Amino acid sequence: MLLTITPEARTFAPTHQYAPASAAVLQKERAAKADGKTMEAAALGNEAYDARRELYDRVELVTGVPWYWSAAVDQYERTISKAKPKARAALGQYSAVFVEHERWAGGLNPDQEDISPLSIRLFGGIGRDGDGDGAAARSSDFDLLYSLISFMSSYGPTESRFPAGVWEYYRNSRAVQRIGQFAAIYSHYGHLDLFQHAFPLPQGVSYSYRDTWGDRRGWGGRRIHEGTDIFAGHGTPVRSTCYGIVESKGWNKYGGWRVGIRDLNNHYHYYAHLSGFQKSLAAGQIVEPGQVIGWVGSSGYGKPGTSGKFPPHLHYGIYSDRGLVEWAFDPYPMLKRWEQSERKR
Ligand SMILES: [Zn+2]
């Protein structure tokens, strides 16, 4: 059995202590700032987005598969490579597609570095020559993406059957769900630049939070706290922190009324203990940073409708999908960063 942990099976309880920022917290903040700079430096300029989009459009021209499917597959590959950088060294320049030698050339191919489209095909490899230079090059952005999209689109009409091809390629239903979600986001906005963030509560309202990562929880057995509690008045608007798609909405016994939103980094943003949802919010809906999704409350810790067992607050957690398992990570440094950048606006 593969170990699959979903956020829904986890913990969500508030803490009720306040403490001044400790040395450890300050250290974390400094690390987050440094990390933020690195991320900014590595952040894509428009040129890289343009290069990627050109690649997706070229694949569409040759395969007939709409660009947003290429964008979604490429972005999914990128998130998996970020989670496993050692096992998945970058092959292309703009595309993040990673294919093992064996899979590219074919398992029984004696030449694992084979670039001949004919013998690769003979040995059942997925490598294809997309750009027509005679070589199925594992280092070519176009050949890499073209090979995957050709494979995935070979199971029938794109509109209905592309997800079946995605499943055949990954043999993993999470991958199918993610790529479908990413394609929906890209197709909705029509462009690739969708990584801005917002603080979950509007600036100007009163709230408080501290780093509660790993605190012991009081309800539901021995669990640790995976998230940040932001204390605010009942009914304070709760906003999406990212561009994403609503993955779950409804009741769970720990989180109460909760919303889960998936973004293009393959992060699952979890908003719990809400008093209610924005009326039109539905699973599958596309949201953007700052968009109101619900209101702060104190729901949770029991059967549907249970409320008032703790002071109103937003429990906010982020989970990273690494292909087969999801890991919680501390959202506190990111919250600090988003808050600061909104204050500067
Ligand atoms: Zn919490």
Which tens digit of pLDDT belongs to each residue from 86-104? 999 999 999 999 999 999 9
Q: CB of 16 within 8 A of CB of 258?
A: no
Distance 36 CA to ligand 1 centre (A): 24
Question: pLDDT tens across 274-287, in order?
Answer: 999 999 999 999 99
* Domain shared by 57 and 163, yes or no: yes
**91 burial via Cβ count (<10 Å: 0-12, 13-18, 19+):** buried
Distance 13 CA to ligand 1 centre (A): 5
**89 burial via Cβ count (<10 Å: 0-12, 13-18, 19+):** exposed
* Domain shared by 33 and 58, yes or no: no
Q: Tell me, what's the pLDDT at 35?
A: 44
**108 burial via Cβ count (<10 Å: 0-12, 13-18, 19+):** exposed
**226 burial via Cβ count (<10 Å: 0-12, 13-18, 19+):** buried
- What total of structural domains would you count in the chain? 2
Distance 272 CA to ligand 1 centre (A): 8
Decide if 2 is inside a domain.
Answer: no
Distance 125 CA to ligand 1 centre (A): 48
Distance 273 CA to ligand 1 centre (A): 9
> In this structure, what token pair is assigned to residue 236?
């304070």
* Domain shared by 157 and 240, yes or no: no
Boundary-marking domain end, from 158, 189, 220: 189
* Domain shared by 95 and 158, yes or no: yes
Residue whose C-alpha is closest to residue 149's, from 137, 171, 132, 165: 165
Residue 187 φ/ψ, nearest 5 degrees = -70, -30
Distance 294 CA to ligand 1 centre (A): 16
Distance 225 CA to ligand 1 centre (A): 6
Which residue range(s) make up the domain with 64? 46-189
Distance 95 CA to ligand 1 centre (A): 37
Distance 124 CA to ligand 1 centre (A): 50
Decide if 65 is inside a domain.
Answer: yes
Amino acid at 46: N
Boundary-marking domain end, from 189, 208, 236: 189
* Domain shared by 105 and 220, yes or no: no
* Domain shared by 265 and 165, yes or no: no
Decide if 167 is inside a domain.
Answer: yes
Decide if 323 is inside a domain.
Answer: yes
* Domain shared by 215 and 179, yes or no: no
The CATH number covering residue 336 comes to 2.70.70.10
* Domain shared by 54 and 184, yes or no: yes
Decide if 267 is inside a domain.
Answer: yes
Distance 18 CA to ligand 1 centre (A): 13
* Domain shared by 336 and 199, yes or no: yes
* Domain shared by 58 and 127, yes or no: yes
Q: What is the largest CA-CA distance in the chain?
A: 68
Distance 89 CA to ligand 1 centre (A): 36
Distance 283 CA to ligand 1 centre (A): 23
Q: Secondary structure of the chain: what % helix, strand, coil (to 5)?
A: 35, 20, 45
Question: How many CB atoms are closer than 10 A to CB 6?
Answer: 14
In tens digits, the chain (345 residues) has pLDDT values of 333 344 444 433 333 333 333 444 444 444 444 444 444 434 557 889 999 999 999 999 999 999 999 999 999 999 999 988 999 999 999 999 999 999 999 999 999 999 999 999 999 999 999 999 999 999 999 999 999 999 999 999 988 899 999 999 999 999 999 999 999 999 999 999 999 999 999 999 999 999 888 776 655 556 678 899 999 999 999 999 999 999 999 999 999 999 999 999 999 999 999 999 999 999 999 999 999 999 999 999 999 999 999 999 999 999 998 877 788 889 999 999 999 999 987
Distance 57 CA to ligand 1 centre (A): 43
Decide if 1 is inside a domain.
Answer: no
Distance 336 CA to ligand 1 centre (A): 16
* Domain shared by 53 and 16, yes or no: no
Distance 252 CA to ligand 1 centre (A): 14
Boundary-marking domain end, from 163, 189, 215: 189
From first CA to last CA, the distance across the chain in angstroms is 49
> In this structure, what token pair is assigned to residue 157?
């009409």
Distance 316 CA to ligand 1 centre (A): 7
Distance 234 CA to ligand 1 centre (A): 15
Q: CB of 254 within 8 A of CB of 220?
A: yes
Decide if 327 is inside a domain.
Answer: yes
* Domain shared by 61 and 20, yes or no: no
Distance 239 CA to ligand 1 centre (A): 17
Decide if 7 is inside a domain.
Answer: no
Residue whose C-alpha is closest to residue 73's, from 188, 135, 153, 138: 153
